[in-house]
Structure formats: C-alpha cells, structure tokens
Chains A and B, each alone.
Chain A
Amino acid sequence: MKISYNWLNELVPTHLDIDEFCEKLTMFGLEVEEVVQPGKELDNIVVGKVISVEKHPNADKLTLCQVDVGKSEPLSIICGASNVVKDILVPVAKIGAKLGDFEIKKAKLRGVESFGMICSEKELGVSDEHSGIMIIKQDIEPGTPFADAMGMNDSIIEVEVTPNRPDLLGMIGVAREVAVMLNAEYEHPEIAFEESEVKTEDEISVIIEDSEKCPRYCARMVKGITVQPSPAWMQKKLIASGLRPINNIVDVTNYVLLEYGQPLHAFDYTKIKDKTIVVRIAKDKEKMMLLDDTELKLHSENLLIADAEHPLALAGIMGGLDSSISDNTRDVVIECAYFDPKNIRASALEYGLQTDSSYRFERGMDPNSLTEVIDRAAQLMQLTGGGEISSGVVDCYPHKIEPKILPLRVSRTNGILNVKMTADEVENYLNKFEFGTKKASDDSFEVTIPTFRPDIEREIDIIEELARCYGYNNVESHFWINRIDNKQKRTVVRLAKNHLISLGFYEVNNMSFASTEDLNALKIPENDFRRNIVELANPIGEQFSIMRSTLIPDLLKNAALNLSYKFENFKLFELNRIYLKEREDTYTEPTYLTGVIVGEFDPFYWKEKQRVTSFYDVKGVVESVLSKIHCTKNVTYKVSNQPYYTNDSAADIFLDGKTIGSCGIIKDDVLQSFEIEASVMLFDIDLSRIIPLYNEKAIRFKEIVKYPPVLRDIAVIAPSDIVIGTSAQTIKSVAPNIIKDVRLFDVYTGKQIKQGCRSLAFNITFQSETLTLTDKYVDKLFDKIVKKLSLVHQIELRQE
C-alpha cells in the first residue's frame, strides 16, 4: 500500500518529519518498506508551454520548439517526439537538470543550439510511457516546478499491509490507525450534495440472486455528467499513489478506492438492458468480454453483475467491455457492493486477474460502510463532471451482517502483557480504534468490533491491539540469562578436552593436595611462582600438606602408576586449578592444562616401522590445542630453561610476549625421582590466560579468493643457528599480502651440505585477492625473497 504523506497529513496532521513518522509507524505494526520522494530528483524541471513548433533546418525528424518557461525569454529546444504541437503544456528539463545520471547541458544538434529537453513520462519517473513527450492536461502556469504541479513534492510511504488488515488498504483506515498511534483525531471527508427529484429506484432495480456470494449491493446514479479530465488536486493524489489519471469518472472510482479502500464500479447507464442489475452466478460456458479485451468462458462458480440479458462485469474483479464508460457516457450507475472474499479469491485465481479491486475484496471489505462510500463517489462525480445525482441509494442487503461483540477483561490484558493499564485507558484506546465499549463489570467490557475489522475474532485479538497501543517496547523485559553464565570458560575447556581426547589422551582427575617434596622433585627453584604455596593448617597427612601449585607431579605419578601396570605408550592430561598465594590472605586459582606423552606418540602399527617420537610431537599437540581454542595470534616459542626438561629439548610458550607455559622432554633424573623408566614429554599451559581471549563470535566468513594460488618451492642452505621460524617470517615479510603461507617441508644436514649449515626447503603459497598472479610477477617476488634471505640471514639458494 502506497501512502502519500501529504494526503495523510490532510486527514490527520502528524506534526512529525517523515523519518520520525515512519519509525513510529513501523513500531506500531505497519512496517514501512520504502519511502520515495519523487520530487527530490526533479530540480530544474518545470512546466513549459510550447509556443511555436518549426522544422529543424537540417533534420527531418527533429523539431525546433520555442517553449515558455515563465521567464521573459522563451527557451529554444530541439525535440524528437512526434506528438509535440503548439500550445500544449510539457515538462521541460532546463540546463542543469538531472535525469538519473544524465545531466542536461546546452547542446548543439546538427548545427542548431538546444537549451533543454522536453521529457517523456518515463524520463521523469511518472510512468513507463515513453512513446512521446508527456503532455500535461491540467491548466498550470508555465514555469511552475514540475514536481509541485504534479504533486510530487511528497513522500510516498510503501507499507506492508498484512492480509488480515483490509481496513488499512484505504487512506481513511490508515488515518484511523495513525490517529490511534498519535492519540489524535482524524477527519472524515465531508459528504454533502443535493439530490434531484428523480428517484434512483425508479431508474434502476437490483436483484441479488445469490446472497451468499454477494451479501450486499448498492447502486446510485449521476445523470448528465461530462466525461473530462479530473481536477489537478485529484490527479496529483492519484499519481502520488501510483495510479494514472484517465477521466473524471474512472478517476473518481479510483480516488474513492484509495480513500476508503472500497472498490467501486461505474457503468454506462444506457448500456444496462431493462434498467435492471442482476447479481447472479454465470451460466455454464457463458461468455463475456472484459475491459482488457480478454474473453472469458465462465461457469457456475463465477459471480456476475449482469443486466436482463448480458454480463456487465465479473463481480468484484473487472468490468465488461460493453458497459464501460466512454467519452460519450452521460449517465453513470455507480456500484458499491460487498462480495464473499472466498469467491472473489477463487475467480481471480482461476482467470489470473489480480486487480486492485479483487485484491481488496479477497481480504474482506466492510459491508456496513457502502452507503457512505457510494455517496462520496456520487459527490465527487458531480464535483468533477457536473450532472444530477438521483435521489436515494438502491440498497439490496437481505441479511444484515452485524458487528461482533466480544468480552474483554482488563486484568487478563494486564496479566498477559505484565502492564498496568486502567479500565479507562483501555476504553480510550478501544474507542480510538472505533471499537464500541460497554462496561460489563469493573474489570470487563463488552466490545463491539466494527465490521471493517474482520481480523478481530477473540479477546486475545483485542489484547494484541492494546499491546500495540501500549507500545511493545514499553513492556518490561524479564531478561536475566547470561549475566552470570561461564560459557566462555566452559567452551574453551570442552574444546580443549575434546581435542586432546581425539588425539588419544586420557583425562585424569587428581585431588588438589600435594607436598613440597613434589616441587623439590621437579627441581623448582625457590624464586619460582610455584613456590608461593598455599599451606593447610590441618592437613590429613604430610603428603597432603599444601594445595598443589602445579599439575605436573600428579601427572608424573599417574604415568609411573600406569607404567607399573605394563602400559608402555600412553598419553594423559589433566585440566584443573592450581592454587597460589598472591599476598597475605589473597589467593589465586588459575586453571591449567597439563599433559604427558609416555613412550611413543603413535600407536603401534604392524604395517610400518614405529616412528620415533620427538620434541616436535609434543609441540604439535600444543600447537593444535591452541589453534582449536583460537589462540594462534602472537604465540611464540623460545628455548626453555625450566629445570625439569632435558637441555635443548624444550620450549617456553609465549602469548603477547608473556609466558603461558612450556613443553618438552622431561629430564632423566626427574623421571628417576618419580620412578619412571620410560621417556616422558610434557606440556603445561596456563589456560586462564587464554580463556578471556576466546571469542566464538570472532569467526567470520571470508569470501573465497577467486584468483588461483601459485605454489613454489624454495630450497636454501642456512647457517644452523638461524631458527626456522625467523627465516619463514623473513620470507613472508617480502610480500605479506601475497605470500599466504610458508610451510617447511624438508630439513637436511649431511655430507653434501657444508659444515655448520643445513638445507631447508619451504613450500610458499602466493595468492592475490584482486588479480591472477603472472609467472613473471611471482618470479620477481621469488628473487626478492632470495635476496632478502641472503641479506638478512646469509641464507643462500641451494644450487642443484
């Protein structure tokens, strides 16, 4: 539904700017889909009068027009349309005007200058018509801005009207809704006219043969009318609402449709045989020619408006060609009826005829406003075309459709919404909606639902209306979830545990107690943070005298125990708190993730030789766990000095430059003090440092790069003291945006390699996000890499 904001303001002044209004309307339940301000793009376009038309001296198909645009000097404009003639009013785009992306400039066409352009309807966005220039039919002063003349200085609000609200398909219904929303009043059109001596019922009779498909039919007559263009104010509103003005009679039916939402039909009186309108079902295979020149073959489910002999219209959907208004029509019969929505829907669907009329009848019109609507139409026809309105309405309404009466409890309303509306407030809102109210008790009303609101069927439907009035956003929110929940920690813990388990680790669960002997066995020095122990005042034994400050001793004990049960290769981890004394009476309980790999990492496989486990296995575990919990950025590794690791076989792990743990191979003498006769690798990570950084919402889809990657291998001879991490970084730094990945795939030291050096081979992925990389470009980068490696690290390309 397109709402002209200017028109709406005539009915109910909103005193709001358009954005504010649309926001309010949406929050009230009428969702604004789009706001178009057609006049905004029509600067420098004015109404002009063509005062002379001459042939272009050098081109047959062009004319040279003098156009009065209100200024002293008429403009000289070259026009290519064939419908340009003297004395018509046309839209003129002056120099500087913009039509879409096209700006009007002074132009020279075949040697003659042109100072503007005469536009078609399509060029101005008025309609799709573009066979010629637009001819303005109203009487408008040349020079008037075109947007003003056409009523286009308006905001057209496109709202989504849900199918249950047919009352909102007319401006008056919208005004009523807006009045409720703004707690204001809206104006009904004033309907007043004089009727002639002639009685309508003497001129036309109506017979409803099927009162189920047509419960009510009203007719009125205007005699001696002149068919002519409708007045400017009406045309403006029609255009604003997306309809094309045709003539005053058609325009009035359309106008009233826009105003009330109620479809009307106008017949040429002289074409109604025997002055009789019969509302009947079609005979089988009865034929009829519609207004749009299509012929229908009908059957007994189709409802017709007919005269004594022939069909006049397919009821509620489209008029017939024979009875339609022509320029010669003098006497008009206005139809205003209520049809059964189901029947209209079925027929419209059957013939594929979705018209403005069927669209509304399908949704259910108000059967009890027909006389007001038909009076309004008669009034406007007389106003726009003269003539005499015959006296009275022929109103065929065999069984009156009564408004529903529903009970409403205020307490129930408040109970459902958790609000505190008083009975008076409730009544006020209901009356604004034009619902009748009668107090039934202190707490309840009998509510009369007007027939224009077929959607209100139960008490709860009324409560919904009251909720809208109260404002959904004014209802208190009982929101309380996720203030306390430790989801972040829970997620990280579960991810880490599940990952380790899928790598073959078993989780262990040790008690929180320990003794200082455990720390001594690990050779933990006195100044280590793990010596800030928490001592129990009443321990149950010497070996349980402190709270553990590291999970490592328990895991080593678990390893020893299981070795004694003849398990040879196994992996264990524990995820639990450690306890540290920070200051006097202040303690911390960080969560640690600690694990051991006992014996070989890979399970024994008959088909292959047992792979020898190395430091890189435990580092791989650490890297994969950290990656699983999104801790990859700013993680670095440096040689560890932890006293329980074998020299040169351990790394400290840093996050943002601060240590968060370590991994490596446990020293033999430490193993001995735990009575372990197997190799043990350990990782030990402070998870508390990582948990606060975890953000599952950080995962964002990235568009797949459509340009193919280029893979190159590079083999170099590097001095042994150059760590691989650094050389990989150096390679990447050559073109950080293009070098996506640097992967080490071979390390070799041997006879062919000179002393103090090793051979490294990397696989480099080059990829651009904006273009396909050429070999030449990649070659260039490759050379740069070689140069930089040589310059920074004295790494040389390996010569084959």
Chain B
Amino acid sequence: MKEQIQEILEEARRSIPSCVSDKDLEELRIKYLGKKSSLSDLLSKIGTVSKEERPQMGALLNKTKKEIAQLIEQKKLDLHEKTDTSRARGLDVTMPGRPLPIGAKHPLCQIWEEIEDIFINLGFEVAEGPEIESEYYNFDALNTPSGHPARNPQDTFYLKGGKLLRTQTSPMQIRVMEKFKPPIKIISTGRCYRVDKMDPSHLPVFHQVEALMVDEGITMSDLKGALDSFVKRIFTSDTRSRFRPHFFPFTEPSAEIDILCINCKGAGCKLCKKSGWLEMGGAGMVDPAVLEEVGYDPEKYTGYAFGLGIERIAMLRYGISDIRKLVTNDLRILKQFQ
C-alpha cells in the first residue's frame, strides 16, 4: 500500500504543475481527491492493513491528500495570476493584427518581369514595338511573301484599312535592325494576336518574348547557349532543352525548341502527353535574306532568334492547365499569386 500511495503522489507532483487551464486542474482534483479517487479507494481499504501499520498508513494517506490539495491550490493561483495580468492589459495575442493591404501582380506579368530580368542579366536590351503593324514588317520583311498561308484572314487579324495586329513580336526586330548597326542583342516582348477560338490552349491575344542577336561570328552554339541559360533560370537548373528541325520563314536553319518535361523529367506524363518533352517555341539562325532586307551584309554578320510564349511559360511554372484562367481576372485566382 505504501508503494501505491507513493506512486500516486509522484504522479500528482508531475501532472499538476504542467496543466494549463482551470478545467484541466478541476479534472485533476477529481482524479486525486474526489470520492472515486484512488486515494479514497485506498482509505476505504485501510482495514486490510495489519494493526501495527494501520495508524502509520492513515497518517501517510492524510499527508498525501493534504500535499496534493496544496499543489492544486497553488496551481490555481498561478493560472489566475497569468490570465488576470494579460487580460487586464486587454491583450489577446491570438487576435488578428490590423489588416494591412496585400495585393498581387497578375501571374502573367510576374513571369513577364522575370523573363525580362533574366534576359537583362544576360545582356539583352528590351525593345517594345507597336501592336498595330503593317504587312511589310509583320510578313514581307520577315521573308513571308504574299500568298503565304499565315497571311490569311483565317489566321491574322486585319484592321479596316489594311493594317494588321502583329502575329509575333518579330516586326520589332526588323524595326531595330533598320535603325541600328550590329551588334544587336535585344528581346522584344509584348502582345500578339492570332485568329483563334478560345479554348484551354488558345487565346486570340497572347504574349511573346523574342530574342535576337546579330554580330560577327554569332553561331548556332550561341543560340543554344542563350536558350539553355534561359530555360535553366526560368525553370530549374536541371532543365534540358533540345532542338527539332522545323520550318520558319525567317530563320535558316530553323528549329522547334523542346524542354525536358518539368513535371515528369522525361518519364512521360499527362502534361507532356507521354512524350517526355514540352514544346516551348521556335528558334533558328536569322535567314540571310532577312539580314539583307535590313541592309546588313549577310557575309559579315550572322545572328540567331528565338521566340517563346509567355502564357505557356506561366502555365508551366504555376501548373495552370487552361490558358483562359489567365484572362478571367477572378480574385480567387489572383489572390493565389501574392
């Protein structure tokens, strides 16, 4: 019996000081001192103890009860002191602080800025141009002669009066080359337009970034290097890219750029349609005819160009599968991009 009493006391000494509320403390009081407590139980069994030990046990039980009662009383005071002083000062640290405003840039604009900054870091200048363009800058100067299917009104928006909405940011590159001598190292960014029905992967209005570098001795290695640097920074440092032969009127040789699927790292998944690769845009060495058109000596100068869709990059970075989400301007979406 002595051991049992000792055990109960030890437990009470541990549990009472660590309790945090009046309610917990009351439960402990009932547990140790209540009518159904183990101490009461032991007291009722005191008769079973030998005659010689009985007074000793009784005294021990009383002493233990007294100590536990004292512990509880002390704890009660402690708890009240704490709550009383902080409440007196009116402080509840769990209450919300004064709500200061937080807004957010549109996700597309966030990515756009990030892309600009990466290219600025790589030494590119940023050029902007008009979205309302002439057929000359959008097509003729870019080696896309009349009769080319891209010029159809089924693909290109025309204005009443003959001008068009640029289908790519390349016209700005022509404008820059007309005005400045090499070396040229620019990106042109901005809105472009193509006649497309709105669906999960198409919008009639979208954004492009195009890079152009022209100088003596620019090679396809420079193109691959610039592109690699870019995709590694905008995605992750282990992002690989590959070039697939393709056709564009204003580059020769031309290629489509793929990056290793950022979701499955090449294993094949829904995002990459099991191919392991994601199509990112077009690239190539500037066609000598284009250089000639702007008055550069194509024997002296070479250059590269590549173009990427900003929506595409934003969707991949944020895991957005429907491009239309980027123009709904729903606060339930925008608030995710704080």
User: Residues of A with Cβ closer than 8 Å to B?
Assistant: 478, 480-487, 489-490, 494, 497, 500-513, 534-540, 544, 547, 558, 561-562, 565, 567, 570-572, 577, 579, 584-585, 587, 589, 603-607
- A506 with B331, Cβ < 8 A, contacts A485-B125, A489-B128, A540-B195 known: yes
Cβ-neighbour of A486 out of B126, B132, B330, B335 (below 8 A): B126
B158/A507 in contact, CB under 8 A = no
12 contacts between A and B (CB under 8 A): A482-B125, A484-B176, A484-B186, A490-B126, A497-B105, A502-B101, A506-B334, A509-B326, A538-B157, A562-B331, A577-B191, A589-B132
Of the stretches B59-67, B106-114, B301-309, the one at the interface is: B106-114
B161/A584 in contact, CB under 8 A = yes
A606/B132 in contact, CB under 8 A = no
B109/A507 in contact, CB under 8 A = yes
- A505 with B127, Cβ < 8 A, contacts A538-B153, A561-B329 known: no
Q: List, in ascending order, chain B residues with CB within 8 A of A567's CB.
A: 331
Q: For the complex, what is the distance from the CA of A565 to the CA of B197, rounded to whole Å? A: 26
A510/B130 in contact, CB under 8 A = no
Q: For the complex, what is the distance from the CA of A500 to the CA of B165, rounded to whole Å? A: 30
Closest 4 CB pairs of A and B: A504-B101, A485-B125, A501-B103, A603-B99
Q: For the complex, what is the distance from the CA of A536 to the CA of B99, rounded to whole Å? A: 46
Q: List, in ascending order, chain B residues with CB within 8 A of A584's CB.
A: 161
Say yes or no for B51: interface residue by CB 8 A criterion.
no
* Majority DSSP secondary structure for residues of A touching B: loop
Q: List, in ascending order, chain A residues with CB within 8 A of B108's CB.
A: 509
Of chain A, the residue at the smallest CB distance from B333 is A506
Say yes or no for B327: interface residue by CB 8 A criterion.
yes
Q: List, in ascending order, chain A residues with CB within 8 A of B113's CB.
A: 494
B127/A536 in contact, CB under 8 A = no
What's the least CB distance linking B303 to chain A, in Å?
Answer: 14
A540/B197 in contact, CB under 8 A = yes
Q: List, in ascending order, chain B residues with CB within 8 A of A490's CB.
A: 116, 126
A509/B327 in contact, CB under 8 A = yes
- A503 with B106, Cβ < 8 A, contacts A490-B116, A585-B162, A607-B98 known: no
What's the least CB distance linking B89 to chain A, in Å?
Answer: 15
Of chain A, the residue at the smallest CB distance from B133 is A587
B106/A507 in contact, CB under 8 A = yes
A536/B329 in contact, CB under 8 A = no
Say yes or no for B17: interface residue by CB 8 A criterion.
no
* Majority DSSP secondary structure for residues of B touching A: loop
Q: List, in ascending order, chain B residues with CB within 8 A of A503's CB.
A: 101, 103
A587/B163 in contact, CB under 8 A = yes
Say yes or no for B204: interface residue by CB 8 A criterion.
yes
Q: For the complex, what is the distance from the CA of A518 to the CA of B125, rounded to whole Å? A: 37
Q: List, in ascending order, chain A residues with CB within 8 A of B125's CB.
A: 481-485
Interface centre among A494, A506, A536, A607 (most CB of B within 10 A): A506
User: Residues of B with Cβ closer than 8 Å to A?
Assistant: 95-96, 98-106, 108-109, 113, 116, 123, 125-128, 130-132, 153, 157-163, 165, 176, 180, 183-186, 191, 193, 195, 197, 203-205, 326-332, 334-335
What's the least CB distance linking A27 to chain B, in Å?
Answer: 27
A537/B204 in contact, CB under 8 A = no
Cβ-neighbour of B329 out of A509, A571, A579, A587 (below 8 A): A509
Q: List, in ascending order, chain B residues with CB within 8 A of A579's CB.
A: 131-132
Q: List, in ascending order, chain B residues with CB within 8 A of A500's CB.
A: 103
Q: List, in ascending order, chain A residues with CB within 8 A of B104's CB.
A: 501, 506-507
Q: For the complex, what is the distance from the CA of A145 to the CA of B215, rounded to whole Å? A: 66
B131/A589 in contact, CB under 8 A = yes
Q: For the complex, what is the distance from the CA of A587 to the CA of B116, rounded to whole Å? A: 26
Of chain B, the residue at the smallest CB distance from A490 is B126
Q: For the complex, what is the distance from the CA of A140 to the CA of B180, rounded to whole Å? A: 70
Q: For the complex, what is the distance from the CA of A512 to the CA of B205, rounded to whole Å? A: 7
Interface centre among A507, A579, A587 (most CB of B within 10 A): A507
- A571 with B103, Cβ < 8 A, contacts A540-B197, A606-B96 known: yes
What's the least CB distance linking A646 to chain B, in Å?
Answer: 25
B327/A511 in contact, CB under 8 A = yes
Q: List, in ascending order, chain B residues with CB within 8 A of A536's CB.
A: 157-160, 165
What's the least CB distance linking A181 to chain B, in Å?
Answer: 33
Cβ-neighbour of A504 out of B102, B193, B205 (below 8 A): B102
Q: List, in ascending order, chain B residues with CB within 8 A of A509's CB.
A: 106, 108-109, 326-327, 329
A587/B126 in contact, CB under 8 A = no
Cβ-neighbour of A506 out of B176, B186, B335 (below 8 A): B335
If A539-B157, A589-B131 are given as contacts, then 19 extra A-B residue pairs at C-beta distance below 8 Å, sorted by A number, are A480-B183, A484-B126, A484-B180, A489-B128, A501-B102, A502-B101, A504-B102, A505-B101, A506-B335, A507-B103, A509-B329, A512-B131, A512-B205, A537-B153, A538-B158, A540-B204, A579-B132, A584-B161, A605-B98
Q: For the complex, what is the distance from the CA of A572 to the CA of B335, rounded to whole Å? A: 11
Cβ-neighbour of B161 out of A485, A512, A585, A603 (below 8 A): A585
Q: For the complex, what is the distance from the CA of A561 to the CA of B329, rounded to whole Å? A: 9
Q: List, in ascending order, chain A residues with CB within 8 A of B191's CB.
A: 512, 577
Q: For the complex, what is the distance from the CA of A513 to the CA of B205, rounded to whole Å? A: 9
Q: For the complex, what is the distance from the CA of A544 to the CA of B204, rounded to whole Å? A: 10
Q: For the complex, what is the distance from the CA of A433 to the CA of B181, rounded to whole Å? A: 40
- A537 with B158, Cβ < 8 A, contacts A506-B103, A510-B329, A603-B99 known: yes
Of chain B, the residue at the smallest CB distance from A480 is B183
Q: List, in ascending order, chain B residues with CB within 8 A of A482's CB.
A: 125
Q: For the complex, what is the distance from the CA of A478 to the CA of B181, rounded to whole Å? A: 12
B123/A481 in contact, CB under 8 A = yes
Q: List, in ascending order, chain A residues with CB within 8 A of B193's CB.
A: 512
What's the least CB distance linking A357 to chain B, in Å?
Answer: 52
Of chain A, the residue at the smallest CB distance from B110 is A507
Q: List, in ascending order, chain B residues with CB within 8 A of A571's CB.
A: 101, 103
Q: For the complex, what is the distance from the CA of A24 to the CA of B131, rounded to whole Å? A: 52
Q: For the complex, what is the distance from the CA of A747 to the CA of B207, rounded to whole Å? A: 49
What's the least CB distance linking A787 to chain B, in Å?
Answer: 44
What's the least CB distance linking B128 to chain A, in Å?
Answer: 5
Of chain A, the residue at the smallest CB distance from B193 is A512
Of chain A, the residue at the smallest CB distance from B158 is A537
Q: List, in ascending order, chain B residues with CB within 8 A of A535's CB.
A: 159-160
A480/B160 in contact, CB under 8 A = no
Cβ-neighbour of B127 out of A485, A544, A577, A585 (below 8 A): A485
A534/B185 in contact, CB under 8 A = no
Q: For the complex, what is the distance from the CA of A565 to the CA of B331, rounded to whole Å? A: 9
Of chain A, the residue at the smallest CB distance from B175 is A484
Q: For the complex, what is the distance from the CA of A54 to the CA of B203, rounded to whole Å? A: 111
Of chain B, the residue at the smallest CB distance from A559 is B329
B330/A587 in contact, CB under 8 A = no
What's the least CB distance linking A580 to chain B, in Å?
Answer: 10
Cβ-neighbour of B163 out of A487, A510, A585, A605 (below 8 A): A585
Q: For the complex, what is the distance from the CA of A482 to the CA of B104, rounded to whole Å? A: 30
- A589 with B183, Cβ < 8 A, contacts A502-B103, A506-B331, A606-B95 known: no
Q: List, in ascending order, chain A residues with CB within 8 A of B109's CB.
A: 497, 507, 509
Q: List, in ascending order, chain B residues with CB within 8 A of A561's CB.
A: 328-330
Q: List, in ascending order, chain A residues with CB within 8 A of B180's CB.
A: 483-484
B101/A511 in contact, CB under 8 A = no
Of chain B, the residue at the smallest CB distance from A601 is B101
Q: For the complex, what is the distance from the CA of A482 to the CA of B131, rounded to whole Å? A: 23
Q: List, in ascending order, chain A residues with CB within 8 A of B105's CB.
A: 497, 501, 507
Cβ-neighbour of A587 out of B98, B102, B132 (below 8 A): B132
